[in-house]
Structure 1
């Protein structure tokens, strides 16, 4: 694999009248990556996808594909293909005809088209459905046909615009795994757009969290979940405890904060305020541990269980922290541990330094 990126977005800005949809977005995407743009409606993720596909022109900036400037090149002149949320299959065409449509546009011969249709249908296990029409297929089958049609011309980059949005919850989970498996087997570069955090965490090699037309944070699913850089990312991805305190200072990659008189230590991103300023820390619910005595961890507080929520194999507990003037923490634990904890007996809650991220607001 070349060290040069497959895709480079260089200073992309997009304005719609007075509205700035994207502001100086710069990003590299490597060959074979599964990159997800995640964020709420209106954050700029779909605009980025459309600029990559050639369906929108940026106001400023450049799009480079394998080092070649394709900014002003129309969609049909880019080696890029798209899978839409509604699949956009031709209802009057069979599965085989839908898959062959893009190959005909490329000017391939009938024998070559037939061979490619057979190859892609076998790969995606669609052999038995070649003569069926879209209306005769399930939602998951239609999704696979849309993917087959997009992959058939062998694009360098595949754009996926919330392609699982029309599926029910159970089928959606199955197709997520299938889609990631297909990406790994084809070694294709996928650019996936979604507002669904679980979908992004499940499928991606890398997630770019967007907010108001800018990149809020860019990293692996694990990095964004356990080490969010900002409050927006901490709250948008998963459930977390937010601890509001005062920064005492930093020691390399460690930040020390005061929380209701308790000294807490966490990881420090670049751009923190100076000592004495207010800061917020994020601690995920599953990172909190329960102990009968004060644990040997970087952070430990004592509290009492005030509420329990049964979640099957695990339980969510609400804890009133005794040293924190009525502040509460929420934690996940296994159902057995949760059942054994009583609000009548104080319990120690501990977490390590790496489990607490000091946020850059």
Structure 2
């Protein structure tokens, strides 16, 4: 990756009437990154994509692309291309004609178009479909044609607006792997928008979680999943246990909290709360382990298994924690391990790095 960012978003804001779509968003995207904007409808992710593409202009702020201020430039003047959710292929044109059209718009001559067309169709394994029309292709094939058309002019930045939303679950997984592979092979910078957390975790180098026009958290998939900074991120990405208690202090690098009279230790990705403050911590289901006697771990609670749900290769186990007025914890364990846990009291335990103290 280059030292200077390919994309520099500098304090952009956007309102639609009284609704705030973006509020002072600043962000850098490096050359060759696969960055995903993730969040619910109305969080500002699609507005950001449209501003990058030149389809919307921000009320304030600037967009710098490869060192050039493109804030006021129209889409055709930017070195950017876009893949839409519905692919936007021309139904009366063949695959070759759809891809060629994108090159004609860039002013390429016939010789250059023919050469680039052969390159991109071979790269994306579309040679056998060149004379077919979009209506004669499967959903996955149409998606690949749309991607070929967007990549053919060799853009600096590729924008992808929920391009897998129209695919069924099985095909979506296959296309996710293909899309990530293509991004790695081309070293292109991808800006991907989705509301699907699994899709974001699977494909991204980096995820920006948006909420009400602001960035909730920006980091790698692993950072956001195991070290969420806020309750919104913890609940939006995956399934987690939320423990509400009081801040009791700091021991070394660990944050100490009280939970139903028990002392638990975790870490605080978004900063250490004030002593005595009410706090909430997140523990992912995969991080809990079960033991017949108290283990040598910073966090351990005792309880009884009240439910087991078989999920194939793993099992969800629900534990009613003793002396907590009905508090429950849920864990994902190996299916055989889940079956072996008896009905007697057991210990559920986790280490301090697995428990993230959240900001509200």
Q: What's the TM-score, normalizing by structure 2?
A: 0.99
Partner of 2:316: 316
CA shift at 1:359, angstroms?
A: 0.4
Unaligned 5+ runs, structure 1: none
Give the conservation status (yes or no) of the 8 Å contact 2:230–2:270. no
Distance between the aligned counterparts of 2:345 and 2:57, measured in 1?
A: 61
Give the conservation status (yes or no) of the 8 Å contact 2:15–2:21. yes
Q: What SS does structure 2 have at the residue aligned with 1:324? A: coil
Residue deviations 1:220-255 (CA, integer Å, cap 9, x gap): 000000000000000000000000000012346421
Give the conservation status (yes or no) of the 8 Å contact 2:43–2:212. yes
- Pair 1:330 & 2:308 matched: no
Partner of 1:212: 212
Give the conservation status (yes or no) of the 8 Å contact 1:253–1:268. no
Give the conservation status (yes or no) of the 8 Å contact 2:161–2:192. yes
Distance between the aligned counterparts of 2:270 and 2:188, measured in 1?
A: 33
1:4-83 map, 5 Å:
4-83=4-83
CA shift at 1:153, angstroms?
A: 0.1
Distance between the aligned counterparts of 1:201 and 1:66, measured in 2?
A: 27
Partner of 1:90: 90
Distance between the aligned counterparts of 1:296 and 1:323, measured in 2?
A: 21
Residue deviations 1:234-290 (CA, integer Å, cap 9, x gap): 000000000000001234642110001111110112444311010000000010001
Give the conservation status (yes or no) of the 8 Å contact 1:249–1:256. yes
CA shift at 1:102, angstroms?
A: 1.3
Q: What's the TM-score, normalizing by structure 1?
A: 0.98
Q: What SS does structure 1 have at the residue aligned with 2:323? A: helix
Unaligned 5+ runs, structure 2: none
Partner of 1:302: 302
Q: What SS does structure 2 have at the residue aligned with 1:323? A: coil
- Pair 1:146 & 2:150 matched: no
Assess, with a 3 A threshold, how the Cα gap between structure 1 residues 67 and 252 changes in structure 2: closer, same or farther: farther
Give the conservation status (yes or no) of the 8 Å contact 1:272–1:360. no
Q: What's the RMSD between the two structures over aligned residues?
A: 0.9
Mean Cα displacement is larger for which, 96-105 or 210-219?
A: 96-105
CA shift at 1:17, angstroms?
A: 1.3
